[in-house]
Structure 1
Amino acid sequence: MSLFGRSLEDGDRLEVAGAVVRLKVHNRARRVSLRLDRTRREIIATAPSLRRLPEAAAFARDRAAWIADRLAELPDAEAVAPGVVITLFGQPCRLEASDKPARLHPATGEAPACITARGEGAAFANAVIRVVRREALRVFTERTAFHCGRLGVKLPSVTIMDARARWGSCRPGLPGKPAAIRYSWRLALAPFEVADYVAAHECAHLLELNHGPRFWAHVKALVGDERPHRAWLRAEGARLHAFGR
């Protein structure tokens, strides 16, 4: 038994200083440690073994002030309401109320793009998100086709997801299973160049199932220096995940 009244398991969750603390066993870890997962907005308490999970949990309790400080650094949830201006693949897009089904109106002349949707509160927000997801699927389907054409590989199926742990995933083709790429719809809120880097990254995995030199050579051939885009995602990823939360 632990000091928390029961045996702790890998993946258990606690609450400390208003934050979710997830316990994790990592056999390669040398010591108990804490880190902030900005995407999931939770604290990871890592222990080298299952036996030391109670120590990791106690360490998290002792570091409540540190946890509170890290939470304060996270961006607030971004409102999805009429009058808010978001960015859609790097371009401003105003959210407006309407009595008609939700849709995206492209920019015309000096007028920026806008998304109109009906409903209030969560109903309005969900309608807007559905439009953003549709636009994400459209753009990523186009960019995947473009990059696959340059790489000389067959176009995989393209779908949209809302994973918190990754921006994209690639499943190369296998007998009876065609290749498939999935993208986080939240990348639609990033600059176009950043989203396009993720598309190039996943397409390069159709040729190289690793992150070795040949893989990065394919990525660079498609989008140039990828480091600024990776840095942008590290710095701003939490803000994208705060949208609509």
Structure 2
Amino acid sequence: MTASLSGPRPVEAEIVRLAGRDVPVRWRRSSRARRLSLRIDAREAEIVITLPPRAEHEAGMALLRNHAVWALSRLDHLPAAAPWHDGGQVVLDGCAHGIVHCPDGRRGVWIESGVVKVSGEAPFLRRRLMTFLRQEAGHRLGARLTALTGLSGLRPRRLVIKDTSSRWGSCSANGTVMLNWRLVMAPVDVQHYVIAHELAHLRHMNHGPDFWVLVAALTPHRHMAETWLRRHGPALLRAA
């Protein structure tokens, strides 16, 4: 068990007994947080509690106990992790590709006839495949961002591809757009919506009515994409 969190501390984790079960809980103290919050990290299959600077550990525990049924239900409904392996599948732009290990190959990772081939030693297959997908995300998502930028006139300062545990995208006040590399596994229409959503934040740094009017002007895919991400997003976060 971790010690009581008082004052700024790095991220800490513990196993908490909740409704007769042991569940992993990660504590996060944030100087920017204005209130206690609780969420499920689908990638790590754990509960994350964010504490404002002056909040006590016990306040976070009370929040967790009050939302125990919800938190346990969300953990129980997470999809099983699906590790990439020879003979398995990986998804790009919403299309499944078989994974074939080619130990004697000399091309790193490449797509051939609808199959993703991975060279090198077997223990490094997952790492090499993840590197490849992150590179593909930079190319594919970057190209789609550029295309929508040209149509909308909304120009971000730069694009950053990251691996985040909950967000598919974000837009900072300085005009930097962040996209989660795992978005490259989603269908193209879903990618289009997330990109449009973040570009709209260049004009409206909120989710007010004017923001959603602009999103609707940029993409017709909002409702389909939001539904798809709710249903299938956790599986993308757990893929590796």
Task: Tell me the TM-score normalized by structure 1.
Answer: 0.76
Q: 1:53 and 1:119, CA in 2 relative to 1: closer, same or farther beyond 3 A? A: same
Q: Is the 8 A contact 2:196 2:219 kept in 1?
A: yes
Structure 2, unaligned runs of 5 or more: none
- Tell me what 2:158 maps to: 157
Q: 1:197 and 1:21, CA in 2 relative to 1: closer, same or farther beyond 3 A? A: same
* Residues 83-121 of structure 1, C-alpha deviations (whole Å, 9 max, x = no match): 1122211122121111223233255xxxxx222112345
* Residues 10-36 of structure 1, C-alpha deviations (whole Å, 9 max, x = no match): 86432134532134787656xxx9654
Higher gyration radius (CA): 1
SS in 2 for 1:76: coil
Equivalent residue for 1:186, pick from 182, 187, 190: 182
Q: 1:122 and 1:205, CA in 2 relative to 1: closer, same or farther beyond 3 A? A: farther
Q: 1:171 and 1:106, CA in 2 relative to 1: closer, same or farther beyond 3 A? A: farther
Larger deviation, residues 33-42 vs 68-77:
33-42
Equivalent residue for 1:105, pick from 97, 106, 111: 111
- Tell me what 1:13 maps to: 13
- Quick one: distance in 1 between partners of 2:136 and 2:2? 49
Once the two structures are TM-superposed, the CA of residue 162 in structure 1 deviates from its matched residue by 0.2
Q: 1:18 and 1:81, CA in 2 relative to 1: closer, same or farther beyond 3 A? A: farther
Q: Is the 8 A contact 1:19 1:71 kept in 2?
A: no
- Quick one: distance in 2 between partners of 1:154 and 1:6? 46
- Quick one: distance in 1 between partners of 2:143 and 2:53? 46
Structure 1, unaligned runs of 5 or more: 108-112, 174-178
The amino acid that maps onto 2:111 is: H
Supply the RMSD in Å over aligned alpha carbons.
3.4
Equivalent residue for 1:232, pick from 215, 228, 236: 228
SS in 1 for 2:84: coil
Tell me, yes or no, if structure 1 residue 167 matches structure 2 residue 168.
yes
Q: 1:85 and 1:35, CA in 2 relative to 1: closer, same or farther beyond 3 A? A: closer
Q: 1:50 and 1:205, CA in 2 relative to 1: closer, same or farther beyond 3 A? A: closer
Identity %: 31
Task: Tell me the TM-score normalized by structure 2.
Answer: 0.77
